[in-house]
Structure 1
């Protein structure tokens, strides 16, 4: 199915022209905003929500907010950075409204394959071990399977590149709590990826 941002539409020459159109409340401007930033913002939303349908809802709500509140954009950053914050906040608000679900992380990890010792090193990211479309798809699935609290912490800190302080502030938790969640997310992701890494000869085994 064609995504809304895949339409063939070019109206504004650059970001400044798009911003001017948004401020003039030109109807086509919001569509162009979606076309320009939709793919990247959708990937952010799906990583935070863990569900494609909910991600589309987040993106739609965030775009509506952005177009309505364009006067709030002060130009201290790019439109993409400003929209990134709106999408993040929208996703986190939706997650907070969910009914809390209790997850026994230790039990879930035991159900998965043993984690190769090399992957327990907190300085090594799963995505750095093996590259390729297959692993990327596995990481996306593993991210979606994480509890909301772990997934959002990992996405903001390790994928979106926020500092520990920034990610903790976004989630409304302490920096130490953020670090714990990221660490647990890493362990869960490595456990989920362990069979794949074993099959490809990774996992800390030395070549012979």
Structure 2
């Protein structure tokens, strides 16, 4: 199926959904369920919360489907809604933490089991690469929001420049500048640590260095 045919099919499904065939919505979103969840997980770093964010994003997309502009890509529109929901979730969690100073501190420093589930490594390599995965995860989490968002969309979700600009509501030059700065920040933070672990793995994990 070509991109044009796919877009036409989506447009037809959206029109039918808006006309009352709401069951089609499940078919419409099915190709994007994994990418929306992974985007939420990359931003939230908690599987349960990421599932909630993804679910809420799909619900909000359904409720706002009549506002979807046909000239935009449906997938990009979904990612934008997911980002907004993830931001809202983080803001709410921040408020709750400030209001519950006596509660136990959150610890999201561990590697999510989902990230390791499909690895096919010998045991010695698992430990080594898990350490690197953790370093990268912490470095990405430490980026300021405007740089982390661009990095996740371009280098994790692999959206193109136009789609990233549309999802974030910024222009293309800003996408390029923010991505460059994000990569430079990550390189500056990670290069010394990775060099002490394994130079070969450093080159594999940081192709932009």
Which TM-score band applies after superposition, normalised by the shorter structure?
0.5 to 0.7
Query: Does structure 1 residue 54 correspond to structure 2 residue 49?
Result: yes
Give 2:109's aligned residue: none
The alpha-carbon deviation at position 148 of structure 1 amounts to: 4.8
Pick closer, same or farther for the CA change 1:76–1:201 going to 2, 3 Å.
Answer: closer
The gaps in structure 2 that reach 5 residues or longer are 1-7, 98-119, 155-160, 205-209
The alpha-carbon deviation at position 35 of structure 1 amounts to: 1.0
Query: Does structure 1 residue 81 correspond to structure 2 residue 82?
Result: no
The alpha-carbon deviation at position 40 of structure 1 amounts to: 1.4
Query: Does structure 1 residue 158 correspond to structure 2 residue 159?
Result: no
Give 2:17's aligned residue: 22
Contact 2:32 2:75 in 1 (8 A): yes
Give 2:63's aligned residue: 68
Identify which range, 32-41 or 191-200, moves more after superposition: 191-200
Pick closer, same or farther for the CA change 1:79–1:170 going to 2, 3 Å.
Answer: closer
Pick closer, same or farther for the CA change 1:199–1:136 going to 2, 3 Å.
Answer: closer
The gaps in structure 1 that reach 5 residues or longer are 1-12, 102-131, 204-208
TM-score (norm 2): 0.55
The alpha-carbon deviation at position 181 of structure 1 amounts to: 8.0
Root mean square deviation, CA, Å: 4.2
Residue by residue over 1:8-42, the C-alpha shift from the partner in whole angstroms, topping out at 9 and shown as x without a partner, is xxxxx921232123313423223223312111112
Contact 2:139 2:189 in 1 (8 A): yes
The CA distance in 2 between the partners of 1:91 and 1:152, in whole Å, is: 12
Contact 1:149 1:181 in 2 (8 A): no
Matches within 5 A, 1:26-45: 26-45=21-40
TM-score (norm 1): 0.55
